[in-house]
Amino acid sequence: MRPTGDAAYRDGTGTFHPSPRRVVDGADLHGDTTITVDACIVGAGAGGAVAAKELAEGGMRVALLEDGASEDTASFTARPREMTTRLYRDAGQVAALGRPPILLPLGRAVGGTTIINSATCVRTPASVLARWRNQLGLEELTEDELEPWFRRVERELNVVKVPPDLAGRNAEVVRRGVEALGWSGDLLYRNVRGCVGAGVCAFGCPSGAKQHTGVTYVP
């Protein structure tokens, strides 16, 4: 079980900070370098970092290969123009083509896009799981079957509901509107620990509260 109240959202104690950082900067390599591992995972974001951690815990020797740098939280300035060029692939100009084209922010750092997203965490909806089962034959992907695995990830990332006061007045206005319309709604769940509500999640969390894969699964 994990605590999910306001204290778990605001309390930054207990965050794992390993002393050895086994990071090799490619810019420091000269000539051929050979290492021997059981698995090489390309990308240290939401997919790659999780795969690497699970394989390593299973006893494999794993290397993570990441295009971006290993960023230090203390260097996050909260200045959008500066951090966009540092943390975003192609300075945030990647787009999904269509009518209209949609900007597709992609992270370029250890942590991948989890280092620049809003930290919102939503379980795969039941309707999507049903479509996967019916159209793709993934019959085992039921809510009950996935429950322990969702919880495993949520514990690792400290997924917690946003406290009402940190959500702010805009969220309160939306809540009243939702209730007036008879809709269902709630405050978001986010992967944070010690959030102070700085509001610059998309440009690298300067307080180190966002539990992106670069500070959770990778270590």
pLDDT tens per residue, range 127-181? 999 999 999 999 999 999 999 999 999 999 999 999 998 888 999 999 999 999 9
Q: What's the mean pLDDT in 61-65? A: 95
Q: Over pLDDT 90: what percentage of the chain?
A: 71
pLDDT of residue 24: 87
**Encoded tokens for 196:** 């102070």
Which segments of the chain are extended strands (E)? 39-42, 62-65, 95-96, 102-103, 159-161, 189-191
Q: For residue 114, report the phi and psi dihedrals to the nearest 5 degrees.
A: -65, -15
For the chain, what is the mean pLDDT? Answer: 91
Contact in structure between 138 and 128 (CB atoms under 8 Å): no
| SS3 label, residue 16 | coil
Q: What's the mean pLDDT in 77-98? A: 92
What is the reported pTM? 0.87
